[in-house]
Each structure stands twice: as C-alpha cells, then as structure tokens.
Structure 1
Amino acid sequence: MLHLRAAGVSLVLDARGGVPCVIHWGADLGELDDLALAALADAVVPAVPPSSVDVPLRFSLWPGLAEGWSGRPALAGHRQGVPAPALRLVALGDSWVRAKSADDSLELTTELELTPEGVLRIRHRLTNLGDTDFELSGLNMLLPIPEQASELLDFTGLWAHEREPQRGSLRHGVWSRESRHGRPGHDDAFLMMAGEPGFGFRRGRVWATHLAWSGDKQIWAERSALGYGALGAGELLEPGEIRLGPGDSYETPWLIAVFSDSGIDGLSDRLHPWIRSRSPLRLPRPVVLNTWEAVYFDHDFSVLGRLVDAAASVGVERFVLDDGWFTGRRDDKRALGDWYVDSSVWPDGLHPLISRVVSAGMEFGLWVEPEMISPDSDLARAHPSWMLDSSLTWRWQRVLDLNNPDAFAFVRDRLAALLSEYPIAYLKWDHNRDVLTPGATHRQTHALYRLLSELRASFPNVEIESCASGGARIDLGILDLVDRFWTSDTNDPLDRQKIQRWTSVLIPPEYLGGHLGAGAAHVTGRSSALGFRLATALFGSAGIEWNLNAASPSELAVIAEWIAEYKRLRPLLHTGVVVRADAADPANEVHGVVSQDRSSAVFALVALGTPRSALPPPVRFPGLDPNRVYTVRPIGTPPKMVQDAAPAWLSVGSVTLPGRVLSELGLPSPLLAPEQAILLSVDAS
C-alpha cells in the first residue's frame, strides 16, 4: 500500500496485486496504519455487474485493456505491429512504482510526489528492454474522479483573447482537448477542472489537472458507463515520432493534479505557494516599459532617448527595446535569424541607448524571437535546410529547426554574443507562429528547453519572458526556465480583466505581465479611461506599453502616482493570496490579494458592463480573517460614477468593520460606469 498525505489531500494506492489500483485521490482520509489501509482497500472492491469481466473492475495507475478498462489507456504502442503487452508490478518505493511487461521487454516507472502544499505530481518513464525497436503511440497519466465531479470547466481562446472559460456536463464518453500547435496555443485547455455542479471561485469540490509541457498535448475527462470517471493527460505524439531503440527511454512531462474543497480559489491556494516555493524569481518585480506600442519598427535614437527620459521620470525600472533593432528588420516580413545590431539604424550599436537607459537608473531589456527564421533573411539564404519543412509561412516566417545541431549552436552563440557585449538584464523571448511540421514538436520543444537552460547557466542574472504572440505558451513546463509571461498581446483593459482573472488561477500574478496601454487600445481600438487601465495593470508584473512622449503632463503625473502606489503594494501583490468573489451579477466582478497573515489586502471592484439592477449586489471581500477588524478605504485614481449620491461608507471616505461582516454581508456597491474600476485597500486595525 502507498498512502501520500499533505495539506488536506490524500492519494491511496493498493499495490498488493498485479497492478497498483488508485483507491482515492482527493480530501484527506486521515492517519491510516497498514491494517486500516488494507481494510480500506478490501472494502472498496466493487461488485461485478452482469455482462462484464468476471473480476471486479478497479482503476489502475496504468489503466488498459488487460485490466478490463475500455477507456483511453495509459500506454499505447507496438513492436513490429504487436501491441504493447500487459504490465505487472515488480517494485514499490516511497514515491515510485515500477512495472514490467509480461515478456520483460518494457519497463515502466511511475514517480509520484505529493508536495507540502497538496499538489500531486505524476510522470512515467518507459524503457525498451527488448532487442528491437518499440514505437510509442502514447504514454498518459490518469487519475480517477468521483461521480460528484460531473461539471467540467476548461478554456479556449484566440489571439488576444486567451483563457476563455467554457463549462459543460461530464456525460458518458470523452471530453478531449488536443493541441497540435507545437506550443499550447491561444486555445489551450490550460487547466481542466471537474467539480460538483455549480462550483465557483469560493464554493464546491474541484479536481483539476495541468500538463507541464510546452508542445503538443492532450488533456481529457472521461466518464465510463462501466462506472468510473477520470482525468487524463499526456504528450500528443505523431505516428513514428517516438521510436525507442533497445535500451532507450521516454519520459513524460509532469502531470500536475490539484484537489480543492473550497472552489477554484482553493486550487490557486495550493498552486501558487507551490510554484513560489520552487522558484528563484527575483522580487520585487521591476516596472517595465516596452517600446512596441510606442514606436513599433521606427527606431530613432532621438525619439527613444526622450522615451527613456519620460520612463525614468515616472518611475520605470526596466526599459525594453522591442522588435526592429537587428539587421534589415524594418517590418515583420524579413530578417528573423539575422541577430546582429543593424548598423544603418544603430551606427554605434546599442551602446548609446543602453548608456542612456542605465544612466537614468533603469535596466535594459531586448526583444528576440530565436525559434523563428524569415525566408527573406541572410540566414535562410545561407542555410535553407535549417528551416523546418512546412511550406506554410505564418506572419511571413518559418520555424528554425533547433534539433539541427548547427542551427542550435548558431542561435545560442548569437544570443550569447549579444548578452556578452551589452549589459542586457532581460530578454523578451517571442514565438509568433504555430509549428506545423508533422513529427517535429517533441524534439523542437526539448531543444527549446535545452537552449533556455544553457543560456540561463551562462547568464544567470538575465531574466527571460515567455511571449508566444501573447499568451500562447503559458505552462508549468516552461515556467522552470523563464521569469515572466506576456499574458496576452491585448492591453485593452476590458479584455485583460478576464484574461488575467483566469490565467492567475494557475500562475501567480508576479509572473504575469500586465501593461498600461494607450487610451485607444492597439489591438481592439477601444478607448478606455486612464483609471481603468491603471487598475487593470496593477494586479500582476506591471509595466507600460505606451508612447509616453505623447502623454500629457497631467497623465504623466497620474502614471507616476500609480507606479509609486504599485511599488508600495508589490510586497502584498506578489506574495499574497489571490481571491475572487463569485459574481452575483456578471457585470460586476471583485478580485483582490490578501496578505499571508491577513493583516492587509487590496481589492478591485470592476464594472465590465451595465448591471442588471439599479442597485448592484454588495461588494463582498473574501479571504479576510473573520475575527479581525478592518478599515476599508478607496485608493488610486477615482473612477467615473453614475450615482446621485455615493453609498454612505464611501461618502465619509472609509469604514471599519469585522472581517466576518465584510466577507459575508459586504458593503453597498458604488455605482460605477461601465468599464470602470475602483481600488480598495483593506487594513486590519
């Protein structure tokens, strides 16, 4: 028997038979000795129904036909056309289980870890012990879910509209989400949740899985008419993509599995502390100004110099030069791969600009897109074989074959040369297209991981942001190798509110870049009030994507005040507990961050549209200590209101009440105009 327990979660395996059976994954079952575990395992053996296998059907750690499981299997593959034989248990450790095939030609080892935060991690390693090749079709991780987990929530999306939630019932059959983008994609399922009907941010039991992998994948939920439900995931493999020679091994990505008995926020309450515990992320996160939506490809030193001065004057800490700095790059149709500073634009290299940035007290960052190559580039003309063989261009670019040792070395060495010549503190690492070459994703993803690892080893003080035409590559596989995600290419605050709300279920906010854009959003063209833009960008790794040379003195003053407030709040925003209230009216949302000791918090009441009634539901403040007394007061730029008189508590400027009252009863809502937000500080007396 194997019983893992941590932070209110249990995993129980019965490994007394031929294969280990998963008895339970979910709420903690308490302290169970060997006798109690054996009694539990014996007691939960199910009945044998008519017209079925003649032994009780149990959910194996490696479910497949050999155990009577007719759903999606854990292992699929063949040796010269003969399917993989059944597995049998051969060894059990404190955190691993090992099996061999009946003919001893395959060995499968499964690692299991339940972290102190209650996050379960599982991965398999398959080794070919035979003397001929074994072609692997799939190696997946599956976990059972109970019958109460009958409602699903996962995500879809488009460019600039990532993490769009979608919900539905889990009926008999398979709800499967497959990514064939060579990256997770804008429509990434992201985090698949199965919960009790009507589960929300603060209510209901929820089971969830995420595959920590940056390439093609499949993640699914299944309810079998045989009586079991399951969540499963694994790398999505093309035929022939993984062929194991004698002695070769294949290791799956980690499956990250989380249980919560307090809704979706309960998932974050486990994931965020676990991610933070294993990350060397530098705090505080610097305020960034990125030049893309300020100057695009128009790189002019005098213009950029004034932008440097404006950025420094409002308190920016990191200045990032985006696309357009390298040889021949005057638009997005050419020159990817020619990673040399363009002497026609920068005759003295980037030294004058960087000197101005550093002299102004800021770090310097640079945009790159190392995994791509333009057909119209010196590199492509010199090495056409370095392009992956898809004939389709995307944004007028192709994919560089990082599995080619020469191409890999060229990119690594060019980036190393830039990082050696210039004091670059940060790389914005972009990836602006899908990988559409069959069979290339597995090796391309592993080559990317190796490239990032080598650069980080050589330049440990350089931070890297994962940007994939916005948010198309946000996952826990690449998070081990990067320091920030570009959450989406849209800076429109109305879109960003929902994108950030859902992305932060999995990813802590300090990793999620959120920038203040211009009044008219670059992507949507929608105009937004400065206060709404500022309140939206506050909750994350904040920055600016706006030509401050065009801002008015009054706007610059407001931005400077906002940055000062952000710096004051950073310790809270980037270490606290993210909370979200369940919305009684979808037009109004409440979210916030509460300090770990629950002594302070900052909340945002956001009006996404027009409420359904003249008096919207009260503002409730989740996550506070019910037995402490708090003072609530507005901070930041005042929003536009549509009210003849403000609620009484807001009219006097603050209110002091117990946390239980603020969480359960709440406060009367101010009547915000659509697309407005009010920030509220909450501090214990």
Structure 2
Amino acid sequence: MTSALHHLRAAGSSIVLDARGTGVPSLLHWGADLGALSPAELESFADSLVPAVGPSSIDEPARPTLLPMAVDGCSSRPGLAGFGLGGEPAAAAAPAATAAPAAPAAPAAPASSAAAAAHAPAALRLDAFELLGPAAVRIVLVPRGAVGHPLRVELDLELTPHGVLQSRAAVQNLGATPFALDTLELALPLPGRARELLDFTGRWPRERQPQRRAIEHGTWLRESRHGRPGHDDAFLLVAGTPGFGFRSGEVWAVHLAWSGDKRLFAEASATGRQALGGGELLAPGEIVLAPGERYRSPALVAAHSVDGLDGLTARLHGYARAQSPTGPEPRKVMLNTWEAVYFDHDLERLEALADAAASVGVERFVLDDGWMLGRTDDRRALGDWVVDPEKWPAGLHPLIDHVTTLGMDFGLWVEPEMVSLDSEVARAHPEWVVGLEPDADPPVSWRWQHVLDLANPEAFEHVLGQLVALLREYPIAYLKWDQNRDLLGGSAHRQTAATYRLMDVLRERFPGLEIESCSSGGGRVDLGVMARTDRVWPSDTNDPLERQGIQRFTSLVVPPEYFGAHLGAATAHTTGRTHALSFRLATALFGHAGIEWDLTRATADELAAVAEWIELYKASREMLRSGTTVRADGPDPALWTHGVVAADRSDALFAVVTVAATRQAVPAPVTLPGLDDSRRYRVEPVLLGGGPRVIQDAPPPWWAEGGVTAGGRQLAIVGLPMPLLAPEQSLVLRVTSA
C-alpha cells in the first residue's frame, strides 16, 4: 500500500484523497490546484481539515466519503445498497471480471426482514490504495467483519490531463449466495460556497433547456427512466458560487457517461455536508451478482473551474476529444435527405438532389429512412434491414454510383434497436420483441414501433448479420444510427450494454466506418455513446431559433465538431416558423455542418449563398475541431454572443445573436472573450446569405468601414458596438491576428 494521503494534480486542478485509518477514504479537496505539497505539508493540510464534533451526532469527526454508508455514520444517500438473496447457499465460483452479469437471476425473497438485514452489505475497510499512473489511483475495500454480505469494492479515480476527474466503482460478490445490487453511486464533496445549481430539462424537439435553483437542505435528484437519457435529460449537473455565468464564478459539475437509466444528485444536509454525485439507475433485480461475479459502474465525469461554465467546457471538450474514436480526417459537409424527401424514395429525384448537393460543395450524401423492405411509412418494416426491391430493383447501387461519381461518399440511416410488429423479423421471432407475450395484448407502442431485445444473443446476431451484409455489399462510409422511442420495459442496463457492443463490433470489423448517434433527435447525447460514435444529433429541430439555445448548452459538454448542425428549409418542419437564410446559415456554421433542405427547390442566389457558407465552413473546420468554445456574459438576455477561438488564439469566429427583441434600442457594446490579451486583431463582418436584418439609421462607423483593428484585451473587456439587429438574426464575425 502506498502513502495514505495522495495529491493528484493536472491542468490547474487537484484532488486530495485521505486514506488514513481503516475506513472508506475521503476526498478532502476537489477543485483548484493547491500547488506542490511535500508529504509533511500534505499531512498538515489533511489534519487542518478535521472538523469539530457536533452535539447529538456520531462521537467522532464526520468524514464525508466517496461511498457514503450508514454503517460509517452517514445518513445521506447510500453509495452502496443491496442485499444477499436467501435460500440455499450457491456454490462458490472463481472471481469473475465481467462488466455485468449477462442474465441476472430473478431475486429470491429473503425469508424475513431480519434475514434481509443480515444479508445487507458488510461494513467495509480499506484493503489497498494503489497508484495506477501519475494521476490515477485504485482504492480496494473489503469486508470489515463477518456480519453482512461480503463484497469487494474497487474505486478508480483519475485526474485526466485536461483536469477532469473520472471515477468508477466496481463491486464483486465474495459470498456463497447471490447478491442483488440496488445502488452503486459515488459522491463528490462540495464546499459551502457552492450555493446554486444548474441542470437541464426539455422535450422533443427542445432539448437541454436550462433550469437554476438555490441549493437548500435536502436532495435535488434527477433520474432518467427512459432506457436512454431522454429529451429531458439532466445532462450536466452544475453547482457554483451565486450568480455564476459563462465567464465568471467557481463551478463544479458531474455528468454520467452512460446511455441508459441514470441518476445525478446534489445533496446538502443540516450537518454541513454537501455533495454532487451519480450512477446508473438500476431496476430491482436488474443486477444480481452470482458468487464471484463483478459489476463495474459507468464513469462519473466531474470537472471544476474558477472561470465559470466556459472553464468547465474547456476541460470537458478536451476530455471528450481524447475519448472519441473520431480520427483526424476533416468533418465532411453532409446532406441528409429526410426533410427533403421523407419516405418518397425515387431514384431520379434523389439523383437530382445529389447533383444540387455536389454543386454547392457537399461531401457526403446520407439516405435517411424509407429504403428498407416494405417501408412506406413509420408504421412498418423496422427490423428488416434489407433494401426494398420494389423501390430499388437494382439495389442502392445506382444511387451510390451516382453519388460517388459526383465526388461524395454515401451514408445510410438505420435503427438497429427497434422493430415494427408489421415486419418479417417480428412475425418470425415475436420472442425478440421486448414485452411481447403470447396470448397477451402487445406492449405500448411509441411512434408505432417496439424495442428489439438486443440482449438476446439470437436477436443480436440477426441484426449484426444484416448490418454486416449491407456494409459488405455497399460502400457505406457513415451510419446515421437512430433510436426513436423509450424502452418502457426490459432491462435498460442489458439493452444499453448490447447496443454499445453492437457499435463496437461494427467499428472493429469496418475500421473506417463513421457512426452518428441520433435518438429521435437529442434523446441520447452523453459521453458514453460519444466514446464509440463520431457525431451526435442534438435535436430533430432545424429551426435556427430553437437551435441557438440547444447548441449553446449542448456545447457545454459536446465539442462543436461532434454535434450535427443542419441548414433547414426557410419554414421549419418542427415549428412552422420561417427564418431568413442568413440566420439559418449562421446557426448551422458552429457545429458539424450539414444540410437538410431540398436544394432542388432553392433559387440560384440561395445556392450561391450556400456554396459560400460551405466554403467558409471548410476553411474554419480545423479550428472548430480543435479550438476553444467561448460565450460572453452580456447584460441583455435577448442578445447572445458565442464563438470558437483557435487553439493558438491566432483567429476566431464569433456570432452575435438576437433571440428576441433587445431590451434597449441601442444595446451595450458586445465583448469577444477568449482572445490573446497581448495581440491585436482585425474584426470583420461575414455577410452570409446577404447578412442579418438591421433596424437602424446608420451602423457603427467601424462596421461601415468594413472592419476594425483592436487589442484582444479591449475586445474582451470593453467590446465593440454592433449594428442594431432585428429579432431572430445572427451576425458572424471573423477575427484574425493583425
């Protein structure tokens, strides 16, 4: 065992772990870097934080641990809960190292409540404290005594090079009878100065809407029970000093890298303890560990910043980019056919659409829903991943040949996790449909579809076989992988693990394949699915006004090159609102750019503007994929400023956006954060699609002159007066070193 105190440091952050004594270790500090500390200084630091003993409490100083348990005197949310199952003892098995049981046994009820208490987890003691790297440790906990169900618990903590704290927990059943795991959650301490919470909610197609509240005594608990994160996913739970913003305040945040059911919580008690934490939300009996079996939790990803939400974003973007499988290739401009043709798959029409796409510089053509056997609408044919011979008598070859001849590659929409009852696979194998029982009413449908049980090995192999056949027959570079309903039955854990495994197998067999994660829009946007995909679809809406907010908060965690941002038609499919081309172009610029608009209906002037926009995107995409996302804190809630600054801060792109009518006739100057204080920059307007609509008698002089040169510090602190934008407009600014 190494020293009982350890100080992990990386990228301006540090944590201090106290493993002195025999109990579950404490996280004494999680936040700003404390600087280099000698062993003696570290000992003194830890000793100085031992609290007083309060009246009517446990008779020793309370130690907030990573894994709170009642047996340690903690009356907060338990970090570990479950019970051993009654009945005859099972034969002891050799310790296994599986991520989770493949098919948990049904729990047997204990003989009595006393028996259940006797089979609760045993009190834990520290067994080992191991260094796994320069900023990574493993804490091993084993039973403290003979009372209770014996378990081995491992806690892995790593402070990554980006200053992100990644933590996981694992539990192994050391007993002779099965153990039903209810909860395995980690808790990270919060200092008392964190007084406000920010998290997110939403609906289809209006995901990641912020909500704020004060931290009061009690628990703020956000649970996802959709079998996926859902459109109302908490996404990122942030605690901070009062009034924290994008560029100010000290903040702490947690995100669970998992695409199934989950919990995030913030807790504050009258004892003075505050914590953020989370873990997978397990249904009763979902994880039953046989003797020797082991379960490992998803990663709880946590970050701290003294520079507000943008500081968190810088850390989380670095972490996400390091975890993602995406290679160094440019992020290709794509056209998706959905809002152009819907289910109307006609070769001549699609070839004309491909011609228009190629003429403006599109690099990838993605055929969306409607190509499969018998798929004429959204009520049939999911699960039959075979090309429809009536629509496509020669298969997809004629279309793909046309697309590739034009210099574009080809992508295809699939939904491997779902099935229609009106499908060949459901008729042949009804036992593969989650919740479908013989001689019983069918389970509740959602968007006229059901869930295919990918945890069933036969169903998994069937889907894998059909996808492999497609990828072998056709040169498919990209799969848009959809998931259009909640689970509503079955095991979210097993379904999510099986989906991950299916993605992993396909990527292993087809190394150049790219995958987009879509879930009826933004229902599955998390760092778990991003570790095995190249893109996420943040929302089904292409309405630029809705997209401004969705992209603003999605980008807290997701770098711009990983979320799709599409140019839609003038009148949005999802809202019926109509917006000018300039606003639509400016909104779709700051992401992985694409088009979801029937370009065959565009005018010559519109096509020229789209081509100019694509040219700007191609010139900027390397900066978007490696730069720093920034957002200004302005006094007017109707006026937003955001941008991406190059890693070396030599140039940047900004957008000034009016999401409503401004509060003042002449708003205050707009600041441009994140630039180099010591450099001078040229700021110039980029008039996409003719530029935004303005309501003014005269613009600011610098605007009329086509630009201005100013210092980076001036631009960040004082800013520049802007043209008077009408509501729902966006002005793009190019900033380059002078």
TM range (shorter): over 0.9
Give the aligned residue type for 2:639.
N
- Does 2:125 align with 1:88? yes
Question: Residue 3 of structure 1: CA displacement?
Answer: 1.2
| Residue 218 (structure 1) aligned to one of 263, 271, 284 | 263
Q: Distance in 1 between matches of 2:268 and 2:377?
A: 50
**Aligned residue number for residue 558 of structure 2:** 507
Conservation of the 8 A alpha-carbon contact between 2:143 and 2:151: yes
**Aligned residue number for residue 184 of structure 2:** 139
**Aligned residue number for residue 111 of structure 2:** none
CA offset digits 1:31-78 (Å, max 9, x no partner): 112211111111111000111111110111211112211110110011
**Aligned residue number for residue 268 of structure 1:** 313
| Residue 337 (structure 2) aligned to one of 281, 291, 308 | 291
**Aligned residue number for residue 195 of structure 1:** 240
**Aligned residue number for residue 256 of structure 1:** 301
Q: Distance in 1 between matches of 2:220 and 2:713?
A: 40
Give the aligned residue type for 1:403.
A
- Does 2:407 align with 1:346? no
| Residue 414 (structure 2) aligned to one of 368, 382, 387 | 368
Q: Distance in 1 between matches of 2:450 and 2:520?
A: 14
Q: Distance in 2 between matches of 1:569 and 1:250?
A: 44
Give the aligned residue type for 1:683.
T
Question: Residue 405 of structure 1: CA displacement?
Answer: 0.6
Conservation of the 8 A alpha-carbon contact between 1:562 and 1:636: no
Give the aligned residue type for 1:15.
A
Q: Distance in 1 between matches of 2:622 and 2:268?
A: 44
**Aligned residue number for residue 361 of structure 2:** 315
Conservation of the 8 A alpha-carbon contact between 1:218 and 1:233: yes
**Aligned residue number for residue 211 of structure 2:** 166
Equivalence map 1:455-604=2 (5 Å): 455-604=506-655
Give the aligned residue type for 1:96.
R
- Does 2:58 align with 1:53? yes
Give the aligned residue type for 1:375.
L
CA offset digits 1:634-660 (Å, max 9, x no partner): 013211110010011101111101111
Ranges in structure 2 where 5+ consecutive residues have no aligned partner? 86-115, 132-136, 437-442
**Aligned residue number for residue 72 of structure 2:** 67
Conservation of the 8 A alpha-carbon contact between 1:610 and 1:674: yes
Q: Distance in 2 between matches of 1:472 and 1:275?
A: 18
Conservation of the 8 A alpha-carbon contact between 2:182 and 2:282: yes
- Percent identity, aligned pairs only, is 59
| Residue 279 (structure 1) aligned to one of 307, 324, 346 | 324
- Does 2:667 align with 1:625? no
Q: Distance in 2 between matches of 1:272 and 1:306?
A: 38
Q: Which moved more, 1:97-106 or 1:67-76?
A: 97-106
Give the aligned residue type for 1:490.
T
- Does 2:71 align with 1:18? no
**Aligned residue number for residue 45 of structure 2:** 40
**Aligned residue number for residue 676 of structure 1:** 729
Q: Distance in 2 between matches of 1:279 and 1:520?
A: 34
Give the aligned residue type for 1:201.
F
**Aligned residue number for residue 99 of structure 1:** 141
Question: Residue 103 of structure 1: CA displacement?
Answer: 4.0
CA offset digits 1:420-450 (Å, max 9, x no partner): 0000000000000000005x10110110111
Give the aligned residue type for 1:5.
R
Q: Distance in 1 between matches of 2:366 and 2:256?
A: 31
Q: CA RMSD in A?
A: 0.9
Conservation of the 8 A alpha-carbon contact between 1:213 and 1:477: yes
Conservation of the 8 A alpha-carbon contact between 1:464 and 1:483: yes
Conservation of the 8 A alpha-carbon contact between 1:208 and 1:259: yes
Q: Which moved more, 1:38-47 or 1:103-112?
A: 103-112
Conservation of the 8 A alpha-carbon contact between 2:634 and 2:670: no
Q: Distance in 1 between matches of 2:509 and 2:645?
A: 37
Conservation of the 8 A alpha-carbon contact between 2:189 and 2:276: yes
Q: Distance in 2 between matches of 1:625 and 1:293?
A: 42
| Residue 12 (structure 2) aligned to one of 8, 15, 18 | 8
Runs of 4+ with deviation above 3 angstroms = none
Q: Distance in 1 between matches of 2:300 and 2:169?
A: 10
Question: Residue 16 of structure 1: CA displacement?
Answer: 1.1
Give the aligned residue type for 1:434.
D
Give the aligned residue type for 2:723.
P
Question: Residue 102 of structure 1: CA displacement?
Answer: 2.4
Q: Distance in 2 between matches of 1:202 and 1:566?
A: 26
- Does 2:475 align with 1:423? yes
Secondary structure of the residue aligned to 2:63 is coil
Secondary structure of the residue aligned to 1:89 is strand
Secondary structure of the residue aligned to 1:653 is coil
Give the aligned residue type for 1:546.
W
Q: Distance in 1 between matches of 2:224 and 2:26?
A: 29
Question: Residue 278 of structure 1: CA displacement?
Answer: 3.6
Secondary structure of the residue aligned to 2:373 is coil
Count the aligned residue pairs.
684
CA offset digits 1:585-614 (Å, max 9, x no partner): 011100001111111011000011110111
Question: Residue 7 of structure 1: CA displacement?
Answer: 1.1
CA offset digits 1:113-139 (Å, max 9, x no partner): 001110000001100011111110000
After TM superposition, the score normalised by the length of structure 2 is: 0.92
Q: Distance in 1 between matches of 2:31 and 2:429?
A: 53
Ranges in structure 1 where 5+ consecutive residues have no aligned partner? none
After TM superposition, the score normalised by the length of structure 1 is: 0.99
Q: Which moved more, 1:578-587 or 1:347-356?
A: 578-587
**Aligned residue number for residue 116 of structure 1:** 161
Give the aligned residue type for 1:38.
E
